[in-house]
Structure 1
Amino acid sequence: MTQGNLIARFAFHQGIHWSITGVMIPVLVLVFQSRGLSLTEVGLVMGTWGITTMLLEVPLGGIADQFGRRRIYLLSLVINAIAAVVLLLASNLSFMLLSAALFGASRAIYSGTLDAWFYDKFQTVSGSHSFHSALALVNVVVTLGLAFGALSGGYLPDLAVQFSLSTQSMYDLNMLVVIAMNGALFALTFLLIPAEGGESAEGEAEPAIGVLKRCQQAFNASISHTVLLRVLQTTLVFGMVLSAVENLWQPYLADIIKDSGYGTEVFGILSALYFLMATCSSLFSVRLLSWLKGSHRKLLFVSYIAAGTILVLLAFSASLLAFAAGYLLFFFLFTLGGNSQSVLLNDHTQAQYRSTMLSISSLVVTVGGVVASVSFGYIADLYGIAVSWWLGALLLMFSSLLFLRIPEAQASAMTEMESL
């Protein structure tokens, strides 16, 4: 297998995986409300989802390292399908909470599995790509998969009404599609993702050092390794700022357009354009890294400073055009360093606990998001959304200084850079 073949396999697989997630994005809260839940109960359900993911994230990463990443990934698809079945049949809050817990568990099981598999496999195949450029290509397909899933998910309820499907609500077709797609992806995974050395046909697991020991090793590395510590510290801030913008942009924009005559289609158009910005950002990051002589720390520093500056300006926007331009430019810059962070995290993590470390990183993003949801939401209520964004921008720019504390020799591309 060559690098090109590996990238194509993994990108296609991940595009389908994230399109499944996209199918539920436009209707998730609407599904809960169609079952009679109040907004308070919806918050409780979403909180259960997030807390379950946080609690299971790291230990399940250790299990993936122990028993094989592909095998554990397949388990996540099964749990995800079961969660959709429970939600499809749910008629009260208790079953909604059970479904949310299962969805959260599925997310925790998936986290760090195939990403770790891809990095390890990439090191064993020949080709001219760097891992950074490979990630850029994969993330383009992932973003397109999310966009396709979200667009399809928005259309499916109308289709259900058109064909008069006898379900609890018009949104149930989305869940039926999710169940079917999980089954199809389960089978497709065997074709696209070869078994690991630790997941042989005989079912022999890689040398056992214990799940808890793997978790302990990963945690020790995360606080003692110069690069990993800086990456995780800034990842926490990334999660906080991401949550602050994602949670507050819709009410901010709604206030701007409330007397303008624009309808809710504006939110859909901006969401779609966000996916386009993420795609362009992933591709441009390869060129920018080349201009910066392969320095991941410089790329991350520049992108965080620039994104923080645009976030400050976004908080001053008072028209639809100004907001749209600032919002899209912010996310272009904000996601510009995502591939570099992944490279630094993987390059400085030992293979035996790579899934665990990636799960720790995912956990840190989630913790940052939860902290921001509470703190920045409270600040926005008291002083306004603009103040929350100013604080987030300052935090982002100050955190960028941490990248400069990474030794340059440890933060540069390990292979010669090439352009796409």
Structure 2
Amino acid sequence: MNPTTARRRFAAVTFFFWLPVGLYIPSQVLLLTERGMGLAAVAGLFAVHSLTVSALELPTGGLSDVLGRRPVLAVSGLLNLGALLLLALGGSLWVLAGAMLLLGSGRALSSGPAEAWYVDTVQASAGPGAELRTGLARGGAAAAAALAAGTLAGGALPLLAGLLPGPGVRAATSGLVLPLSVPALLGALVCVGYIAYVLTALPEPPRPPATARSVLRGVPSTVLAGLRLGTGDALVRRLLLTAGATGAALAPLELLAPARAAGLTGGAESGAVLFAVMACTGFACTGLGSHLAPRTARWAGGSGERAVLLSLAVSASGLLLLGVTAHAPVATHPFALTGAATGYALVYLGLGSASPNANELLHRRVDGSVRATALSVQSLALQLTGALAGLAAGTLPTGPLPWLLAGGALLTAALLWLRAANTPPGAGDSVRLQVVSAAPAHRAAPACDTGQS
């Protein structure tokens, strides 16, 4: 498969995976509260999701490197399908916890195989030195577009379902289906299409037939190789710390913004609409940042390290701006609304630009035998830190403090790249590629003493 086709299919499978997520994001917190869950319980359910992802990240990444990308992606779609059905219809805490468990399992299985498939396919076609940043940026833009479109639809659907003539969705189903359940049900339908696309559009080179013995032997060794990435390579360690800071930064946004939107509008369904607009704006900024990622690297003199530094600084400034405007009343301080909207956009714009540049640095550092595992290690850092930060944000008093702490975490991550950014662009790239291509199976390339590490 030529790189252009691989890039297009990678963008498509990314879009189909994230569209259901976008559909249920605006209504998720509000649906849980409508089912009688308090904010602490909602934070606990989010922690179940994040901790499940954290526990399964490395084993599922190793599973993808052993079994192949396509079967793992298909199973992730099946788990997400079951999770969304439980989330839409479940009414008890234990059922909803089960939904979060399935959702976290599906997320863990999906965090890496599609991107690993794209990189493997391009490098098999164009060689190990093939250009990757553009395809990674388009994948990020496709994810952002799916989330933006999904949040708009997911925010409007509960309101439209409540306006239908007749007894209404709630009364017709004896309370089993609420108007806020409709986006999750539609997301489950999209999951069916996602599974079909994965099975038909992502061919892989033949692998040795997998047996229980080969999986039991191959997955642990691949997981150990992934764990060694963060201890034996300074660049990978910096990338993992950056992922952790990103999780800490996103936690207050995901937990506190929906309740704030509902408080401003005075109702759950109308709050979902407002938060959908906010989330859509954020995802659109993420897509714009991803689209600009190659250009950001060029603005930074061709250095991916400098591009990550600049992008994280932009996101940190956005969170600090959100913190400064947290308590200012909108009626008497018009700057509060403008400043908060600007800060919200800057957070996602910077993160969208940072991700493709950071991931290209990661793919240059590892070979195909451990690629999905490396992405799982990165996602593990984000999810685990996000779970802990989310629990902390749920206990902190509302106001500037959660936003300022999140901004400080991203600013610290940006400072980690100062030393790497002072290295002349391009130094050591050819050496690193030679080391990657010569790395033995199930091992990441060792750190090169080039100054960039």
Instruction: Identify whether the pair has TM-score above 0.5, normalized to the shorter chain.
Output: yes
- Aligned counterpart, 1:417: none
Query: Does the 8 A contact of 1:132 with 1:339 survive in 2?
Result: yes
Pick from 335, 341, 365 the counterpart of residue 358 of structure 2: 341
Distance 2:400 2:152 in 1: 35
Residue 354 of structure 1: SS of its match in structure 2?
helix
Q: Give the CA deviation at 1:74.
A: 0.6
Superposition TM-score, scaled by structure 1 size: 0.85
4+ long deviations beyond 6 Å: 202-208, 250-255, 411-414
Pick from 283, 290, 298 the counterpart of residue 290 of structure 1: 298
Distance 2:412 2:394 in 1: 16
Distance 1:213 1:371 in 2: 28
Q: Give the CA deviation at 1:25.
A: 0.9
Q: Give the CA deviation at 1:322.
A: 2.0
- Aligned counterpart, 1:130: 131
RMSD: 3.3
Q: What is the correspondence of 1:269-418 to structure 2 with a 5 Å cutoff? A: 269-317=277-325, 318=328, 319-375=336-392, 384-385=401-402, 387-389=404-406, 391-392=408-409, 394-401=411-418, 403-404=420-421, 409-410=427-428
Amino acid at match of 2:388: V
Q: What is the correspondence of 1:145-294 to structure 2 with a 5 Å cutoff? A: 145-161=146-162, 162=164, 164-165=168-169, 166-167=172-173, 168=176, 169-198=178-207, 210-248=218-256, 264=271, 267-294=275-302
Residue 123 of structure 1: SS of its match in structure 2?
helix
Distance 2:340 2:192 in 1: 41
Q: Do the aligned partners of residues 206 and 294 (structure 1) sit closer, same or farther apart at CA in structure 2, a change above 3 Å counting?
A: farther
Query: Does the 8 A contact of 2:43 with 2:391 survive in 1?
Result: no
Q: Do the aligned partners of residues 34 and 270 (structure 1) sit closer, same or farther apart at CA in structure 2, a change above 3 Å counting?
A: closer
Amino acid at match of 2:251: S
Q: Do the aligned partners of residues 121 and 93 (structure 1) sit closer, same or farther apart at CA in structure 2, a change above 3 Å counting?
A: same
- Aligned counterpart, 1:418: none
Query: Does the 8 A contact of 1:295 with 1:411 survive in 2?
Result: no
Amino acid at match of 2:368: A
- Count of residues paired in the alignment: 408
Q: Deviations over 1:314-372 (max 9, x none)?
A: 43334211221232123312332110111111221121121111111101001221232
- Aligned counterpart, 1:54: 54
- Aligned counterpart, 1:94: 94
Paired-residue identity, %: 25
Q: Give the CA deviation at 1:73.
A: 0.9
Superposition TM-score, scaled by structure 2 size: 0.79
Q: Give the CA deviation at 1:106.
A: 1.1
Q: Deviations over 1:18-69 (max 9, x none)?
A: 1111111111123323433343433332222222111111111111111111
Distance 2:198 2:41 in 1: 36
Q: Give the CA deviation at 1:406.
A: 7.6
Query: Does the 8 A contact of 2:67 with 2:210 survive in 1?
Result: no
Distance 2:291 2:389 in 1: 29
Q: Do the aligned partners of residues 278 and 252 (structure 1) sit closer, same or farther apart at CA in structure 2, a change above 3 Å counting?
A: same
Q: Give the CA deviation at 1:14.
A: 1.4
Q: Do the aligned partners of residues 292 and 49 (structure 1) sit closer, same or farther apart at CA in structure 2, a change above 3 Å counting?
A: closer
Distance 1:89 1:253 in 2: 24
Amino acid at match of 1:278: T
Unaligned runs of 5+ in 2: 329-335, 434-453
